Chains A and B, each alone.
Chain A
């Protein structure tokens, strides 16, 4: 820890992010600008999430870091080691044991509990960005609740493919007001955003935006009466733990074209198999 402030960031930066977090919680789903700092890792590595985690993390917290559901990817391991080094915190792979979970692209299968904080790494915070490149314009669209274009985009999918083709970063409406990008989680995870007892924080490092979903908040995935929102389903069960209700990754097992489906959430899969992670 020598040469670093606790959790890397200086106290003034933490205070600035903390003030922004309180506003984010007070206005669920609204993107609060913050004066982000350069972090000792490239933007693609979740600097937004890292700055939020650094601003909330305490010496007594137990931290879990996942990348696409796995605790052992390079990204997850390096962020976990970073916080072990700069904050001296205990880490875990067990969802149930964690106080703070930083995640990229998944929400754990194990239901979260009150008091836990889930920190999402966000690449592009603005759900309207692909429709309207101007930040000024998208701010105005949010202010006026001009979300018709979002439905038009989803409806074009239906016209073209017969169903809504968006499978990840599927837009949601928070507490009936702000349309929000839940980060590139699979839409399979969208229902977990609704009424979750944990606090969910979202940090975008490059664009320096953060936003929040407080516990027990109504979160609806955008859809249509004749095309209701649906999550992904698989014909297979997990080849390792037999789960027929978790998000599955297709894994190539050999060069003969062999393949199998396994849980993307490694902690969940291991705990179902009775293994100690």
Chain B
């Protein structure tokens, strides 16, 4: 089978899959310039004041595993200059196609080359080798977008540091994955300025915890 023929076949397959899985239902921004500006200011606010909750007005995607808020972050920040890694539990032909169609982002299987990673608290694995940035270019790291069990400003996890006047409580859920995520964030201090920045989504709600944040648990002496 010739190369052109194969490409043609692949394209037809993609279109058929798109038709069957309804990727057309993954919505874009109705007014890209103004919607993305508004969403970016909310994301910037969330990253600047770690743990604060933002509610994003974004068209709801057909799969609720990712959630509207994180889909809004994808639409706001991803484009053809970015690489996106997708965890197995979120991965689908429909999401891949919607991501490519709406943003042009390249999808990668290598977490270390990803600018953004899409995952859930259930698929979070502390062993996944996301990019932490280098000591001279710490910004060159993967930003995690994680769908979590819930988002609320209650204990026992307490945040402090830049963007927080005293302390702020943040609860992302009770699952093993949620605990592992908070533990991973707490570990950022030891590797700073290298580290992982995380944006959490739960439905239309969003919160962020960058690597500069100190994370402690009220029910433990200190999370390491």
- CB within 8 Å of B: which residues of A? 5-7, 11-12, 14-16, 18-28, 30, 32-33, 55-59, 115, 139-140, 142-144, 175, 177-178, 195, 197, 199, 212-218
Bound-state CA distance A5–B36 (Å) is 13
Interface string of B140-152 (1 = CB under 8 A from A): 0101000000000
Task: Assess the B36–A11 pair: CB atoms within 8 A.
Answer: yes
The B50-107 residues at the A interface (CB cut-off 8 A) are: 76-82
Q: Looking at the assembled complex, report how far the CB atom of A29 sits from the nearest CB atom of chain B, in whole angstroms.
A: 9
Q: Which residues of B contact A7 (CB under 8 A)?
A: 37
Judge whether B211 and A216 touch: CB under 8 Å: no
**A58 and B211 form a contact (CB under 8 A):** no
CA distance A105 to B48 in the complex (A): 23
- A16: chain B residues within 8 A (beta carbon): 81
**CA of A216 to CA of B212 in the docked complex: distance in angstroms?**
13
Quick check: A59 and B34 within 8 Å, CB to CB? yes
Q: Which residues does chain A contribute within 8 Å of B77, judged by CB atoms?
A: 15, 18-19, 22
Are the CB atoms of B81 and A56 closer together than 8 Å? Answer: no
Chain B residues within an 8 Å CB radius of A143: 135-136, 193
Mark interface residues in B30-52 (1 if CB within 8 Å of A CB, else 0).
Answer: 00111011101101110111000
Bound complex: CA A177 to CA B162 (Å): 12
Provide the residues of chain B in CB contact with A21, threshold 8 Å. Answer: 44
A-B pairs with the 8 shortest C-beta distances?
A26-B210, A23-B139, A143-B135, A214-B163, A217-B162, A139-B136, A214-B162, A26-B197
Cα(A21)–Cα(B76), bound, Å: 13
| B141: A residues at CB distance < 8 A | 23
A128: min CB distance to chain B, Å: 13
For chain B, which range describes its interface: under 10, 10 to 19, 20 to 34, or 35 or more residues? 35 or more
Given the complex of chains A and B, what is the CA–CA distance between A61 and B198 in angstroms?
A: 27
Tell me the bound Cα distance from A177 to B211 in angstroms: 13
When A18-B77, A32-B139, A58-B37 are in contact, do A214 and B32 touch as well, CB less than 8 Å?
no
Q: Which residues on the A side are within 8 Å of B19 (C-beta)?
A: none
Which chain B residues lie closer than 8 Å to A23 at the CB level?
139, 141, 197
Instruction: Write the chain B residue with the least CB distance to A218.
Output: B162
Q: Measured between alpha carbons, how far is A214 from B47 in the docked complex, in Å?
A: 9
Q: Shortest distance in angstroms between B163's beta carbon and chain A's nearest beta carbon?
A: 4
* Smallest Cβ-Cβ distance to B138: which chain A residue: A27
- CA A227 to CA B79, docked complex, whole Å: 50
Given A58-B38, A143-B135, A217-B162, the answer on whether A25 and B210 have CB atoms closer than 8 Å is yes
Is B115 an interface residue when CB atoms closer than 8 A count as contact?
yes
Contact B33 A140 (CB under 8 A): no
Q: Are A56 and B137 in contact (CB under 8 A)?
A: no
Q: Taking A16-B81, A56-B44, A139-B137 as given, write out 4 further A-B residue pairs in contact, using a Cβ cutoff of 8 Å, ordered by the A residue number.
A: A25-B44, A27-B211, A27-B212, A58-B34
Q: Are B41 and A215 in contact (CB under 8 A)?
A: no
15 cross-chain CB contacts under 8 A? A6-B34, A12-B79, A15-B36, A15-B81, A18-B77, A20-B139, A22-B197, A23-B141, A27-B139, A27-B210, A32-B139, A55-B40, A175-B212, A195-B165, A212-B48
